[in-house]
Structures are given as structure tokens and as C-alpha cells.
Structure 1
Amino acid sequence: MPQQALTGKRVAILATDGVEQVELVQPRAAVEDAGATTALLSLESGEIQAMNHDVEKGDTFTVDRPVAEAAVDDFDALLLPGGTTNPDKLRQDPAAVAFVKEFAATGKPIGVICHGPWTLVEADAVRGRTLTSYPSLRTDIRNAGGTVLDQEVVTDNGLVSSRNPADLPAFCAKIVEEFAEGRH
């Protein structure tokens, strides 16, 4: 994959308070290093509080715009990091769920890791798809019509998923590849 495989691509990162810091920082760096521009979308303006292992506060990150003010057409790919409370809050927000649902319907690539699939489940975007996740979400994914594999990284027609932070090297490499391919 060429170093600047994502030049000209815009990647939306949807996260809120409780996001697992490493699952935000490493994938963001991977796509930016490949030439993409990223925008951090959240439930509100201001900053979000990242966490380390759901127990220790990490850094804060400046929100580029509220998801309610974002347009799917402005982005080429979507990244959904995990952390337990991050996707739990996102899946309760109508604007976040609508954005993810609309994004999934476009066929543009999506990268999701750890607890991130909870937002996809709420958006009815896993039906008929194969993915992986943190173990505690697997029943939710199956109940929503998805197929779950226990693998480091799973790719299904532009949907890239991984289980946890230990999978980040494989996840980051695969999202760059799939985001470069574009719409599936």
C-alpha cells in the first residue's frame, strides 16, 4: 500500500466521552499517516474525555463538529472506536444512530473496534454482515442478524472490525487498505 494511499480522503471519527483512547489515537494516526484528513464528530461541541481501559482518565480531544451537524456526503470513510461507555452513549443518541445508519447504507467503508459495533447494532447495520467484536457484544450482534467470528480482523465488503486494542496493528493496516479502496 503506498504511503499516501488516502490522500484526498476524509474520514469521520464518531466518538464521545468514554472512548478508549488507544482505539481513537492509533487508527486516527494510521489514516492520517496515509494522507487522510480526519474529523472528530461527537454528540456536542467542545471536548471529549478518553479513557484507558475504561477505568483511568486519558486525554481530552477537541470535537470538530457535532454529529447532528455532519453530512455523510462529506466523508469517504467512518471510524467507530470502542470503550464501553462511548458506544453505549452513541447508540442512545438519535443523530449519531441516524448518521451511522445513513453511512452504512452508502457502501462506504467503516472501521469498528471492540465495543464500537454497539452503535452499528442500534443503526441496524449488522444484519447479513460478518464481523468481530469484544466478546460481550457477540450475542447482540447475532441477535441483530450479524455473523460473528473470533478473529484479529474481519473484513466484509468494506466493513473492517477487530476485537480489542491488541488487534490494533492488524486493524490499522486493514482500514487503510479498505478506506483506500473506497465504496464497496
Structure 2
Amino acid sequence: MKKIAVHLADGFEEIEAISIIDVLRRAEFDVDVVSMNKSMEVNGAHDITVKADTMFEDLDYTNIDMIVLPGGVSGARNLQAHEGLQKQILDFHASDKPLGAICAAPLVFGNLGLLEGKTATCYPGFESELKGAEISENTVVQSGTIVTGKGAGVAIHFALKIVEMFKGKEVADDLGKKMIVV
């Protein structure tokens, strides 16, 4: 079973995080919700607190198949500021392991130089932080092993793209139909 780590920092966009976690679990992925805080509780951008499954420092990344970053401006900035997460993202990229980010969070990849020569999307206004990327107006973009999404309204489609990456289009489409998304 594929294992995906969804990282939450204070200020995360709740719709994005919960939609991604829910869709991936429906698709029978093993999803770890990772707190980037000093406690298991993480406060969202709209005052919704989520209890994570594990702390960043307790997660064994050798068992993780993909790192996913929900957006929210403050959440994305807090993710970007975490040096340990930056190292894990760079290690994943060097190993061609998949990475995903939605809304403002693709700025983390852009500021690490991972989008050079790739196509990506993000929440409007953050394009300048996707350094070296060809900016797409599409709502969800896969460029090699990196998936980016535009924002909260496409979180389910973003998650279904991750399902498609690992389990194929037919499985993703079937799940989307069951959820009345496609």
C-alpha cells in the first residue's frame, strides 16, 4: 500500500487538507497527517483545529512514497520556513519521488528551485515564486513527478490526480464518479 504524508502547518487551508486526506484514504492509501508544530494540533486558516497522526520529527520518510503540501498563505509560508521539511523535499526530488502542492504551497517547490523547466500552477498572485516554471492556467497540473493545484475549489481534483499517478486513470475516474465529482 502506498504511503503519503500530508503536512500541516499553522494557517493551512482546511478544505484542501481534509479533501486530500479524505480522497486518498477512500482510494486506500495509507495517509499520515503530519504536524509541523510542536504539538499534534494544527490550527487552520479559518480557526479549525486538526489533530495530526504524527509529528514531523517522528516520521520515517524512508517509508513515504509522496509528500503533499496543502496551501493557505500562512500555512505555505510556515512549511517553507521548516528546514527539516525542505531537506526531505529535496531528498524526494533527487530520488524522483512524487511531490504535490496546492494553492500557495507550490511556492515551497519554486523557492527550492524544483520547478525549473516544469509546468506548474498555483493560487493567483504567487506565480512569481514558482521560479523557473512555465505557469499554467489549468487547475491541476502534473509535470513529471510534481503535481500542483490552483486552490481550495479544486482540492478533490488535485487528490484524484494523485490517485491517478499511483493507481491509474480508471481507478481515479471510478472514485470521482462514486463521489459525484466527474
- Do both share a fold (TM > 0.5)? yes
CA contact 1:97–1:122 (8 Å) conserved in 2: no
Equivalence map 1:1-184=2 (5 Å): 8-43=1-36, 44-51=38-45, 56-66=46-56, 68-141=57-130, 144-180=131-167
The amino acid across from 1:19 in the alignment is F
Segments of structure 1 that go 5 or more residues without pairing to the other structure are: 1-7
CA distance, structure 1, for counterparts of residue 19 and residue 156 of structure 2 = 9
Q: Aligned-pair RMSD on alpha carbons?
A: 1.6
Q: CA deviation at 1:85?
A: 0.4
Task: Write the deviation string for residues 144-181 of structure 1: whole angstroms up to 9, x where unpaired.
Answer: 21111011111111211110111123212111111336
Q: Distance in 1 between matches of 2:110 and 2:141?
A: 16
- The amino acid of 2:32's aligned partner reads A
Partners of 1:45 and 1:169 in 2: how far apart?
Answer: 27
- For the Cα contact (< 8 Å) 1:129–1:146, is it kept in 2? yes
1:20 to partner: Cα distance = 0.3
What is the CA–CA distance in structure 1 between the aligned matches of 2:39 and 2:113, rounded to whole Å?
26
Secondary structure, counterpart of 1:135 in structure 2: coil
Contact persistence 2:35–2:52 (CA under 8 A)? no
Q: CA deviation at 1:112?
A: 1.3
What is the aligned length?
A: 167
In structure 2, runs of 5+ residues without a counterpart are: 169-182
- 1:26-72, CA deviations, whole angstroms, 9 ceiling, x for partnerless residues? 01111111111111223233211112xxxx31232225122x44343
Measure the CA separation in 2 of the matches of 1:86 and 1:60: 13
Contact 1:79–1:111 (Cα < 8 Å) also in 2? yes
Q: Taking structure 1 as reference, are residues 105 and 180 closer, same or farther at Cα in structure 2, changes over 3 Å only?
A: farther
Secondary structure class of the residue paired with 2:48: strand
2:125 partner SS:
helix
Task: Kindly indicate whether the alpha-carbon contact (under 8 Å) linking 1:72 and 1:102 is maintained by their aligned counterparts in 2.
Answer: no
Partner amino acid for 1:73? T
1:90·1:96 contact (CA, 8 Å) conserved in 2? Answer: yes
Which amino acid is the alignment partner of residue 41 of structure 2?
Answer: E
Aligned equivalents of 2:58 and 2:73: distance in 1?
25
| Cross-structure match for 2:175 | none
Q: Return closer, same or farther for 1:179/1:61 CA change in 2, 3 Å cut-off.
A: farther
